[in-house]
Amino acid sequence: MKEKRAVLICFSVRSGRFESHYERNKFFRGLYGWKQMIRKEICAGKPGKKEKVYTYRREGLLDEMPHIKVDQSSFIVPEDEFEKITRFLKEWHDKVIWKTFKVLLDEDEFFEKEVEEM
């Protein structure tokens, strides 16, 4: 059985250090991505308001790499992708506390779980 080196990352946000909810959301959206919904009113000459909803998936950093989301604020990434996560978290160093743990995963299991997350 082939093993894959990976890193478990656990983080905690210091909510009081964010200047606003917008800034806090910017962190989470940058990491996890988000679903954007745009509502448009349709006026096709018929009485009453009709609405069309367009939904778009906006990607975050974790969408760019295989990962396993362990919990709300912890996830596992391959060791070779860890540098990207480190750069992102360092940008938020005064607002986010984070710890890392090296782990070994069965390579097949890692990619199996990655597909389940999507």
Q: What pLDDT score was predicted for residue 113?
A: 47
pLDDT tens digits in sequence order for the chain, 118 residues long: 788 899 999 999 999 999 999 999 999 999 999 999 999 887 766 677 788 999 999 999 999 999 999 999 999 999 999 999 999 999 999 999 999 999 998 877 665 544 444 4
Q: What pLDDT score was predicted for residue 116?
A: 45
Q: What is the dihedral of CA 29, 35, 36, 40, to 10 degrees?
A: -170
Please provide the CATH number assigned to the domain covering 3-33+61-117.
Answer: 3.30.70.240
Coil, strand or helix at 29: helix
Q: What pLDDT score was predicted for residue 44?
A: 65
Coil, strand or helix at 44: coil
Domains of the chain: which residue ranges? Answer: 3-33+61-117
pTM: 0.79
